[in-house]
Each structure stands twice: as C-alpha cells, then as structure tokens.
Chain A
Amino acid sequence: MIDWLLDDSPASRLQANLGRAWRVWTALLRNPLAVVGALIVLVLVVMAIFAPLIAPYSPVGQDLANRLMPPSAEHWMGTDELGRDIYSRVVYGARITLLIVTMVAVIAAPIGLVVGAVSGYFGGWVDRVLMGVTDIFLSMPKLILALAFVAALGPGIENAIIAIAITAWPVYARIARAETITFRDSEFISAVRLQGASATRVILRHVLPLCASSTIVRVTLDMAGIILTAAGLGFLGLGAQPPLPEWGAMISRGRNFILDQWWVATMPGFAIILVSLGFCFLGDGLRDVLDPKQGEKQ
C-alpha cells in the first residue's frame, strides 16, 4: 500500500494525488507542534459533532438553585448566573465557533482566489482595478470594518459571518495573484490555451488548483484571527445572540462577576485561546510542509 502511494511514476491521477497527500501527512507527523495543533482542531470538531453526548448538562437548562457555583466535581467549570453548566456551554459553543470559521473560509477563500487569479491571469487594467479594490480593503483596519458592517446589517451570527468574510478575502486575492503571475507565462498554460481552452477553463482547471496549497496554509493561519474577531463581536453583543453559548458572548456575561466569580468569564476564554493556538500550530506545520519558501522568510 505504502509502496503504491510512494510510487515515483504513478499510473493514475488518483494515485498521484493520494501519494502527495500521504507525503504531506507523514511530514506533518514528524512535527510535534503540528500534531498537537491537529489534535486540538480534531477535538474541536469532535466536540461540535457529538456535543449532546459529551456535554453532561443542557447548554440552556437553567438551575437557579445552583447559580454561580465555583468549579466542582459536578460542574467542573462552575455554573453561570442562571445556573447553567459552563462546561456544557463551552462544548456546545464549539459548534458555533466551528460554524463561523468554516463559513468564513468557505465564503472568503473562493472569492479571494477568483479575484486574484483573474487579476493575475489577465493583467492590464483588469489587474489594476481589482488590485486597487483589494489594496483598499487591505489597508483598512479589519475589526473596525467588521464592526461597521455588522452595525449596518444588524447583530446576529449570519451577519457576523458575512462581515468577517468581507474583511478576510483580500489576503487570498493577493496570494492567488502572486502565484498566478509566476506561472501565467509557463509552457503548460500556453499548451492548454493552444488546445483551445477558454480563459474560464484555464483559470478554474489549471490556475486555481495550483494556488490551493498556499491558500490552505494561509486560511489555517488566519483561523486564529477569525476566531478572535468573532469572539470580539460576540463580546460586544453583535455576534451570536443569547441564549446561544457563543464563547465571546459568555465572557461578556461573566464580566459582571469577574471580581468574585472569576470562572464565569475566564473559562470560555481558555477555550478560545486553546483553539486559536491549535490552528496556529497546525498552520505553521502545514506551511513548513506545503510552502517551505514562506517558512524561511518568517
């Protein structure tokens, strides 16, 4: 099996792709921090999927007799002002965090990729206009821009996702453009073009797949920032609305009790830090494997 994966002359495209995936995987496993990061992200995904099985209590079930209990054997992250189990809320909160980062990546990365590839492939005034817009967005403070968009769209988790995605795409456009320019004039692109392929086909089938690896690295590295922005919006009351157990909103609720019942605000914060660190570790590891040139520059 491994011989088949590592074959130097793969017989099919599938074999070549799987072989490459295998090489990336084994290279990642040699990097201990990347493994830690991958495990943290895996735990996040498992928590999100199996939240009802993992969480000992309901995330919204109130128990006013047991409000603001310190961490104990029954409630090992304590309870909040409505007697809800904080650990269960953190577990369910994984769903919201995962939803936000996935949706932002799914919206922002393709937009950025297409803008960048089109810009790099055609060059000329198309390039100038698209990159002008990209640079304007890049020169803007991201959090402020997201805040203003949410203010106009109205608070809520969907609008928070849209606002963050609007501020996230320009980076991917820059990456895709830079990559596209390096191989725009190469022979395999000319060959495809001479066979009569349209610009759309060249960009979608031949240019974009080559931008994929550097984009994946960048998206993973950006995840921490996306999580922090989403939590910030939640903290300000502009993201996920109560009673949804969003980590930033939970910290905001715990603000009033920070001096005496410290666990209400601090526990969700640890979850945010851990998950952000996990994405950082994984992103660094992926960069070393997929995009070694970038790694040297850091």
Chain B
Amino acid sequence: MAFEPSTGAANARISMLAGRAIESAASVFRFAIVVAGTFLGLLAITFFIGRVVPIDPVLSVVGDRATQEVYEAARQAMGLDRPLIVQFFAYVGDVLTGDLGMSISTGRPVVDDLARVFPATLEMATIGIIIGVVLGVPMGVVAATHQGSWIDQVIRVLGLLGYSVPAFWLGLVGLAVFYAGLGWVAGPGRVDIFYDGLLDPVTGLYLVDSVIAGEWDIFWNALDHLMLPASILGFFSLAYIARMTRSFMLDQLGQEYVTTARVKGVSERRVIWRHAFYPIRIQLITVIGLSYAALLEGSVMIETVFSWPGIGNYLTTALLTADMNAVLGATLVIGAVFIMINKISDVLYRILDPRARR
C-alpha cells in the first residue's frame, strides 16, 4: 500500500516520456509531410509553367521550324496526348529518377549541365555569405550597443541601400571602378583565360580544386576573380544580417536580466557577448540561412554581369534561347535548394531553441 503513490508517479512518468516520444515522432512525421508537400508544390509549379502556360509546349521544345513529323513525334514523346494529371505524375517520376530532359542549346541532359555549373554558383554564394556574416554580425552588435552612433547610421543607410540598389547595376559599377578604374581585382569569368580548363574538376569549386592540385597560381587567380562578385553579394547579405542582428540585440539589451547582470557588476564586454549575444545566436542561424538562400537567387543577376559560368548564367542563357527544359531544370534546382536551406534552418532553430521544440 505504501508503494502505491510512487508506482503511480513512476507510471505517470513513464507514460509522460512515452507521450513525449510519440509527440516528437509525430512532429518529425508532420514536418516530413510539410517538406514533401512543398517539393510537390514546386514540381506542380514548374509543371504548370512548362506544360500549361505556353500556348503550344511542343513548339517551345522543337522550335517553329520543325516539320510536321518531328512535331508529331515530339508531341508523342512528351506524352501530351495523355490527360494532364497523368502527365504530371509522369513528370514527377522523371524528376525523381533524375531525368530533366535534354537541353536544346547544349544538346546534353539538363541534369549533367546543372551538375557542371552548380559548383560555380555555390562557391560564389558561400564566399558571399561568409563576408556577410563576418562583417554583418559584429556591425549589428556594435550598432545596437552604440545606438545613434555613426556606425548605427551607416547600418541604417546600408540596410536601405540593400533594399533599393539593383544588384546587376552595382555589379557593373563595381567592374567599372575596381576592375577598369583601379585595377584592384580581376575581370569577368572564374579564372584568367590561360588558366581555363587546367584544373581537374574534383569538387568543381576552383578554390578547393586548385589547393588539391597544389596549383597556387590558379588559387590566387580564382580568388582574384571571385572577390568582386562575392563582395557584391556579400554586401546584400551584410545589409540584412547587420540590421537583424541590431534589432535582436536591442531586444536583449532591454531585458531585465541584462540590467541585473550590469547591476551585479559584470563587465560590459561579458554583458554584451555572454548575456545578450548568446541567446540571439539561434535567431541568427535562421537569418543567415534565409540570406544564404537569397544569395543563390541574387547570384542569377550577378552571374550575368560577371559572365560567371554558374547556374544563374545557365538559366538566363536558356531563357533567351527559349530552352524550356533547361529553364525549368534550373528553376527546379534553385527552388529545391532554396526550400532545403529554409527547412534546414527551421530544423536547427527547433533543435537549438527549447521553447520551439513543442
């Protein structure tokens, strides 16, 4: 009899733990459904753009000079005589097995093309986000701790310019000033023309490949070419990251526990970095994830300006030659990466922030 209450408590505890396990399994499941649904939605949109929006999708693939036989054959091959919903499932099946069709301008499978150009974009966007984080976060913190100071004003202005300056225009002005005018950086392209094709593509990232090959000349040359476009991308993420860091920090610095820490005589540096900055690092992960995804998108315009052979350049070239398979493939890949980065930062936020776990 005396044991009853404690057994009951133990049982309650066990059932609580079990409940929690079921709950978290259920939330993982729900999350997986949301992610799958979003990807299916992305596919539905690209399918819609490719097959429903053009008045004649066959014409947009074979071109208007094709003979009647070629036209009919393409129509059959594309399965356009079948109902839309069947076509959609066929399309989903193709994409899942890695078949994005052939590009009419390069004559190769779109998947191969994309695998070849993607590392160039990844390299540029990654250097860009590093610049944005390394400069943006400290700037935001200083702006919050020195409200109204010159650096606070600078960040305000940068934030506004980040919203109102066209990336392609900044790229052109950057080329005119830093390449043609001052000669500080190398011009368009990934490396100088005589280094082109010397590297074995292992990762496709020139900075990594050149180190693997021990070709330091190429490494410095690639870095030289990368600096300007990556800095311009970095500027846009810097503007956003600094502004968000500032506002998160201001939130924290206004909290009572920060005042308590100060009253206790904790040094100002410790108050700022340990008490105020520590809690916002989780929010910052989301912000950094979002701006990384945005950089992949922004690279489309920058790549066009800098003749950077990445996915953005591939997409715009395909747009101008009406190469629909290539357009849709590139859209799909950029969209999927964009969604994935967003969802990963979502998951990280949930794992790191106990309050968001439920």
Contact = CB atoms under 8 A, between A and B. Distances in A.
Interface of A: 132-133, 135-137, 139-145, 147-153, 224-225, 228, 231-232, 235-238, 248, 251, 254-255, 258-259, 262, 265-266, 269, 272-273, 276-277, 280, 298
Contact of A269 (B169, B298, B335): B169
Contact of A141 (B175, B327, B338): B338
Nearest to B323: A151
A148 B37 contact: no
A30 B247 CA distance: 24
A236 B64 CA distance: 23
Given A132-B37, A151-B322, A236-B316, A139 B339 contact: yes
Nearest to B338: A141
Nearest to B48: A152
21 contacts: A135-B38, A136-B42, A141-B334, A144-B300, A147-B315, A148-B331, A152-B53, A152-B60, A228-B167, A232-B301, A235-B166, A235-B168, A236-B304, A236-B320, A251-B166, A251-B168, A251-B172, A258-B172, A258-B173, A266-B169, A272-B164
B45 interface: yes
Given A136-B42, A140-B45, A144-B300, A236 B319 contact: yes
B79 interface: no
Contact of B324 (A140, A147, A152): A152
Contacts of A277: 160-161, 164
Contact of A149 (B49, B169, B247, B322): B49
Contacts of A298: 247
Contacts of A225: 163
Contact of B168 (A137, A150, A232, A273): A232
Given A139-B339, A141-B335, A148 B327 contact: yes
Interface string B145-170: 00000000000000011011111110
Interface in B189-246: none
A225 B324 CA distance: 26
Interface string B298-322: 1011001100000000011011101
A269 B316 contact: no
B157 to A, nearest CB: 10
A280 B166 contact: no
Nearest to A260: B180
Interface in B93-132: none
A135 B34 CA distance: 10
- Which residue of B166, B172, B173, B315 has the most chain A CB atoms within 10 A of its CB atom? B166
A136 B342 contact: no
A265 B338 CA distance: 31
Nearest to A262: B176
A231 B324 CA distance: 22
Contacts of A231: 166
A146 B228 CA distance: 27
Nearest to B180: A259
B249 interface: no
Interface string B315-350: 110111010100110110011001100100000000
A107 B206 CA distance: 45
Given A136-B42, A147-B315, A153-B54, 13 more contacts: A141-B296, A144-B315, A144-B338, A151-B49, A151-B318, A236-B316, A248-B168, A258-B176, A266-B173, A269-B173, A277-B161, A280-B163, A298-B247
B237 to A, nearest CB: 15
Contact of A265 (B50, B53, B164, B172): B172
A217 to B, nearest CB: 15
Contacts of B327: 147-148, 151
Interface in B32-90: 37-38, 41-42, 44-46, 49-50, 53-54, 60
Nearest to A159: B53
Interface string B165-187: 11111001101100010000000
B166 A248 contact: yes
Contacts of A248: 166, 168
B173 A144 contact: no
B173 A139 contact: no
Contacts of A147: 300, 315-316, 319, 327, 331
A135 B165 CA distance: 27
A141 B324 contact: no
Contacts of A141: 293-294, 296-297, 334-335, 338
A238 B342 contact: no
A235 B320 CA distance: 12
Nearest to B170: A269
Nearest to B335: A140
A235 to B, nearest CB: 5
Nearest to B315: A147
B331 A144 contact: yes
Given A136-B45, A139-B339, A141-B293, A152 B54 contact: yes
B37 A139 contact: no
Contacts of B320: 236-237
A294 B320 CA distance: 41
A16 to B, nearest CB: 35
Nearest to B322: A151
A139 B166 contact: no
Contacts of A265: 169, 172-173
